Chain A
Amino acid sequence: MSLVTVEDLRVGFPRAGVRAVRGIGLTVGAGECVAIVGESGSGKSVTARSLVGLPGPGAEVTAARFEIGGRDALRFGERDWRRVRGGFAGLVLQDALVSLDPLRRVGDEIAEVLATHDVVPRAGRARRAAELLASVGVPEPETRARQYPHQLSGGLRQRALIASALAADPPLIIADEPTTALDVTVQAQVLALLAARKAEGTALLMISHDLAVVASIADRVLVMKDGVVVEEGPTGRVLAAPGHDYTRTLLAAVPSAASRGTRLSAIAAGGVALRTPLPPREARGTEPILSADRLTASYGSRRLVDEVSLEVRQGETVGIVGESGSGKTTVARLLLGLLEPASGEVRLRGERWSGVPERRRRRSRTAIQLISQNPLDSFDPRYTVGRLVAEPLTALPRHRRRDRVSELLDRVGLDGDVAARHPRALSGGQRQRVAIARALAPRPDILVCDEPVSALDVSIQAQVLDLLAEIQAADGTSLVFISHDLGVVHHVSDRVVVMRGGRVVEEGHVDEVFFMPREDYTRDLLAAVPTLGRTPGRTPG
């Protein structure tokens, strides 16, 4: 018997004039994992939340059939829904740092479920909370239960969130992007945890933007776009032989080793998505344009970067991969000359870049520019796009700036009328394009990209990566590309540096490092990456 049966579900927000879900059907049975895949705004999260009666303020939900646990959910009152929430369906959201109440102890959050659904009497709740933490693989559960979310690592936090969703032993778990903010190795652990629950007979509804994550765990996939399901079927079939152009475009947009040298934003037509080749890059110089020699940086007594050396040649892309806390971003700041190394030296275009007074550095600052993960944070919110892009153009006479701004916006694929708008009013992809335009304004030799596409949907990520590749081919710009996403790094990089705990674990040509890793850590990292090729039928265990 299926736990959830939905036919022609529609969810609208009349006051906002939004029809988020426009007639979808869905069933989830015991021991089954169904995944809804889609990009932001596709209606996948609203669908998930509607299943526990929390579609959001002002929502109107209608359906031809809407059964939860065999009962007609269209007739549910608030009291019925409260019994469903936590009791019948546990909800696991993204990023436990904000999804757990930051002012309450982890154990109390779990105990709240136990109390609400009367699972155990008051006296036993603290012990049961610790047991639940232990059951999701949290070490020292008694201690952890007394801690606050910010005191736990990202992985432990997410486990605690899962423990709270499991507390009343619901037959269904709804996981909305449960691994999105996590490192790959932690992501693999969390996915294994969910897979284990599934093996015990719990039904799993998984919401994700990441096809690869879904590939490793889901039995069936629904691909959503603009509030409708464009394609659904067994995971293996949908990923291997997609029947809809949108699915093909999505799959083609996932960067990997195989996609090197091709455009990710493929145009799917006539049943196939063809990746067109990127323009070839210029021959590279042999002399490094940027070099770091045994860099060290500390914060208090903690060593953030330890003896890191790397070289970047003209027109080359050097990838830096590592998990959070590995020192990637600190290396970026050292390279940009925003942080002085405690020891070691950075050289830019053959001249000393670290250890010199800012006065001498200022002249060369335009040669190396940053593109960050969240450009909005680096924009003055009062500035228009035009002013933001014109800001670095101080050398240009005023009347020429406007022309240069529209030229730059044109290069990054933005309309000229964007110049008059504020970055807040733009989409995430457009903002990142503005950031790239601004970084390109002073005609830099090197772009340092720190997680430039991590906050973007896969199709938008594809466009931004294509754009960077085109710019690089045309200008011979060098790229330092920092990312936690190994697929992205493999797609863009010529050489790669693997970091862990502030040290370089391994480096070399990207194919050598990723296909024939020498170090165990690199191997573990690569093994943890979910890939499209691995479907549940083929995973060992």
Chain B
Amino acid sequence: MTTVTRRAAHVARRGLGGLAVLWAAATIAYAALLLAPGDTVDAIIGDGLDTPRIRAEIIAEWGLDRPEIVQYLDYLGRLLHGDLGRSYLLQRGVGEVLASQLPSTAALAVAAALTGVTLALALALVTAGRRTAFRSRLRALTGTAELVAVSVPPFLIGIVLLSVFSFRLGWFPVAGDRGLASLVLPALALGIPVAGVLGQVLREGLERAVEEPFALTARSRGITERALVARHALRHALLPAVTLTGWFTGLLLGGAVIVEAVYGRPGIGQIAVQAVDSRDMPVVMAVILFSAVVYVVVSSLVDLAYLVVDPRLRESR
């Protein structure tokens, strides 16, 4: 096989794998929601008028009298055409509902990721390197800070930030999504735990890398410690950090739900909570599928990132 066909085969395999993950996610979620207590018709009626006639109309309109397997297959078929269905509660297309909430969540996730990565890098770079008395103390301090950041849940960080910077100092708005100022505290609340773990992993990686034999060679060329870290060690430290990206995507998705609630921000998290609460099945399904898509995309990107960082993995085995 030539390299090109091998690569094409690899991409095709990955694509199929991704589709399988999506299908599994959709199916398991569907089954779980079927098994959950409560009646779909009740969910669709919500607080509306509840008469036998309306119930019958709803059953007819949504096709709820069909066997479950048929409903499931019908759902899959519509999914294939990109139709996510209609929200029971909002009486709007689920796609539309998601699309309206996505930018806010994406902004939060990206801002939080950037905050986390920047903080982690800054801490790791400042504390890694030749041991001096000052660095040792700084390292002990950041070590403690990281431990706190990792062990305190995002909602608590969010509440503390709110009470200090919004209520006491009044620097940032308390709630809502109005411009950059309202993004700062939520991004910090979500980014700090990320920075905690990532910072630890990066620093450990840097410390290991500067002890490796190649680091001695690099030093023997007369380069500065800073150049050693920037040109050599950082790349080695990135490898374990890249592995964490999957975990950290999960943290951002899960954390977004809570942080959006704490800060009263619109977003996928808010929608998901509402939908689960009111058994709005199409929306719940869509949120689950959305997470699955994000995971598939992220894990593919992670695999690519490995190849970029480590040339030893590029050789096709």
Residues of A within 8 A of B (CB): 49, 52, 54, 57-58, 81-87, 89-91, 93-95, 98-104, 112-113, 116-117, 148, 150, 161, 164-165
Given contacts A57-B131, A95-B213, A148-B311, whether A101 and B232 have CB atoms under 8 Å apart is yes
* Residues of A contacting B212 in the complex (Cβ-Cβ under 8 angstroms): 98
Instruction: Name the distance in Å between B314's Cβ and chain A's nearest Cβ.
Output: 9
* Residues of A contacting B231 in the complex (Cβ-Cβ under 8 angstroms): 104, 112
A-B contact pairs, 26 of them (CB 8 A): A54-B216, A58-B131, A82-B222, A82-B223, A84-B222, A85-B220, A86-B221, A89-B220, A93-B213, A93-B216, A95-B213, A98-B212, A99-B214, A99-B217, A102-B214, A102-B311, A103-B232, A103-B236, A103-B311, A104-B231, A112-B223, A112-B231, A116-B227, A150-B312, A161-B217, A164-B221
* Residues of B contacting A93 in the complex (Cβ-Cβ under 8 angstroms): 213, 216-217, 220
Q: A161 — nearest CB in chain B belongs to which residue? A: B217
A54 touches B232 (CB 8 A): no
Given the complex of chains A and B, what is the CA–CA distance between A152 and B168 in angstroms?
Answer: 63
Partner of B221, one of A57, A94, A112, A150: A112
Flag whether B151 is at the interface (Cβ < 8 A): no
Q: Which 7 pairs, one residue from A and one from B, show the smallest C-beta to C-beta distance?
A: A91-B220, A85-B222, A86-B221, A86-B222, A82-B222, A101-B214, A148-B311
Flag whether B7 is at the interface (Cβ < 8 A): no
Instruction: Name the distance in Å between B230's Cβ and chain A's nearest Cβ.
Output: 12
Instruction: Name the distance in Å between A450's Cβ and chain B's nearest Cβ.
Output: 25
Q: B225 — nearest CB in chain A belongs to which residue? A: A78
Q: A147 — nearest CB in chain B belongs to which residue? A: B311
> Beta-carbon contacts of B212-244 to A below 8 Å, as 1s and 0s?
111011111111100100011001100000000
Given contacts A57-B131, A101-B232, A103-B236, whether A52 and B220 have CB atoms under 8 Å apart is yes
Partner of B218, one of A81, A84, A101, A150: A101
A54 touches B220 (CB 8 A): yes
* Residues of A contacting B130 in the complex (Cβ-Cβ under 8 angstroms): 57
Flag whether B309 is at the interface (Cβ < 8 A): yes
> Beta-carbon contacts of B252-278 to A below 8 Å, as 1s and 0s?
000000000000000000000000000
> Beta-carbon contacts of B286-317 to A below 8 Å, as 1s and 0s?
00000000000000000000000111100100
* Residues of A contacting B221 in the complex (Cβ-Cβ under 8 angstroms): 85-86, 112-113, 116, 164
Partner of B220, one of A57, A86, A103: A86
A99 touches B224 (CB 8 A): no
* Residues of A contacting B218 in the complex (Cβ-Cβ under 8 angstroms): 101, 112
B223 touches A98 (CB 8 A): no
Given the complex of chains A and B, what is the CA–CA distance between A512 and B232 in angstroms?
Answer: 51
Query: Given A54-B219, A86-B220, A150-B315, 19 more contacts at CB 8 Å?
Result: A54-B216, A58-B131, A83-B222, A86-B221, A87-B222, A89-B220, A98-B212, A98-B214, A99-B214, A101-B214, A101-B217, A103-B232, A103-B309, A104-B231, A112-B218, A116-B222, A116-B223, A116-B227, A150-B312
* Residues of A contacting B131 in the complex (Cβ-Cβ under 8 angstroms): 57-58
Instruction: Name the distance in Å between B183's Cβ and chain A's nearest Cβ.
Output: 35
Q: A49 — nearest CB in chain B belongs to which residue? A: B216
A82 touches B224 (CB 8 A): yes
A91 touches B223 (CB 8 A): no
Given the complex of chains A and B, what is the CA–CA distance between A148 and B235 in angstroms?
Answer: 15
Given contacts A113-B221, A116-B221, whether A102 and B213 have CB atoms under 8 Å apart is no
Q: Does more than half of chain B's interface fall in helix, strand or loop, or is it mixed?
A: helix
* Residues of A contacting B223 in the complex (Cβ-Cβ under 8 angstroms): 82, 112, 116
* Residues of B contacting A165 in the complex (Cβ-Cβ under 8 angstroms): 220
Q: How many residues of B contact A (CB 8 A)?
A: 24
Given the complex of chains A and B, what is the CA–CA distance between A460 and B223 in angstroms?
Answer: 38
* Residues of B contacting A57 in the complex (Cβ-Cβ under 8 angstroms): 130-131
Given contacts A85-B221, A86-B221, A86-B222, whether A102 and B312 have CB atoms under 8 Å apart is yes
Given the complex of chains A and B, what is the CA–CA distance between A165 and B218 in angstroms?
Answer: 10
Given the complex of chains A and B, what is the CA–CA distance between A101 and B212 in angstroms?
Answer: 9
* Residues of B contacting A117 in the complex (Cβ-Cβ under 8 angstroms): 222
Given the complex of chains A and B, what is the CA–CA distance between A382 and B217 in angstroms?
Answer: 34
Instruction: Name the distance in Å between B205's Cβ and chain A's nearest Cβ.
Output: 12
* Residues of A contacting B224 in the complex (Cβ-Cβ under 8 angstroms): 82
* Residues of A contacting B217 in the complex (Cβ-Cβ under 8 angstroms): 91, 93, 99-101, 161, 164
Instruction: Name the distance in Å between A79's Cβ and chain B's nearest Cβ.
Output: 9
* Residues of A contacting B219 in the complex (Cβ-Cβ under 8 angstroms): 54, 85
B222 touches A100 (CB 8 A): no
A98 touches B222 (CB 8 A): no
* Residues of B contacting A89 in the complex (Cβ-Cβ under 8 angstroms): 220
Instruction: Name the distance in Å between B91's Cβ and chain A's nearest Cβ.
Output: 55
Instruction: Name the distance in Å between A306's Cβ and chain B's nearest Cβ.
Output: 23
Instruction: Name the distance in Å between B83's Cβ and chain A's nearest Cβ.
Output: 46
Given the complex of chains A and B, what is the CA–CA distance between A91 and B214 in angstroms?
Answer: 11
Instruction: Name the distance in Å between A343's Cβ and chain B's nearest Cβ.
Output: 26
Q: B317 — nearest CB in chain A belongs to which residue? A: A300
Interface centre among B216, B217, B218, B310 (most CB of A within 10 A): B217
Given contacts A54-B219, A86-B221, A150-B312, whether A98 and B213 have CB atoms under 8 Å apart is yes
Given contacts A98-B212, A101-B214, A104-B232, whether A148 and B220 have CB atoms under 8 Å apart is no
* Residues of B contacting A81 in the complex (Cβ-Cβ under 8 angstroms): 222
* Residues of B contacting A49 in the complex (Cβ-Cβ under 8 angstroms): 216
Instruction: Name the distance in Å between A322's Cβ and chain B's nearest Cβ.
Output: 25
* Residues of A contacting B309 in the complex (Cβ-Cβ under 8 angstroms): 103
Given the complex of chains A and B, what is the CA–CA distance between A203 and B151 in angstroms?
Answer: 57
Partner of B235, one of A84, A99, A103, A164: A103
Q: B215 — nearest CB in chain A belongs to which residue? A: A101
Given the complex of chains A and B, what is the CA–CA distance between A112 and B312 in angstroms?
Answer: 21
* Residues of B contacting A52 in the complex (Cβ-Cβ under 8 angstroms): 220
Given the complex of chains A and B, what is the CA–CA distance between A116 and B231 in angstroms?
Answer: 12
Q: B311 — nearest CB in chain A belongs to which residue? A: A148
Partner of B214, one of A58, A83, A100: A100
* Residues of B contacting A164 in the complex (Cβ-Cβ under 8 angstroms): 217, 221
Instruction: Name the distance in Å between A237's Cβ and chain B's nearest Cβ.
Output: 32
Instruction: Name the distance in Å between B202's Cβ and chain A's nearest Cβ.
Output: 16
Given the complex of chains A and B, what is the CA–CA distance between A93 and B131 in angstroms?
Answer: 24
Q: B236 — nearest CB in chain A belongs to which residue? A: A103
Instruction: Name the distance in Å between A102's Cβ and chain B's nearest Cβ.
Output: 6
Q: A82 — nearest CB in chain B belongs to which residue? A: B222
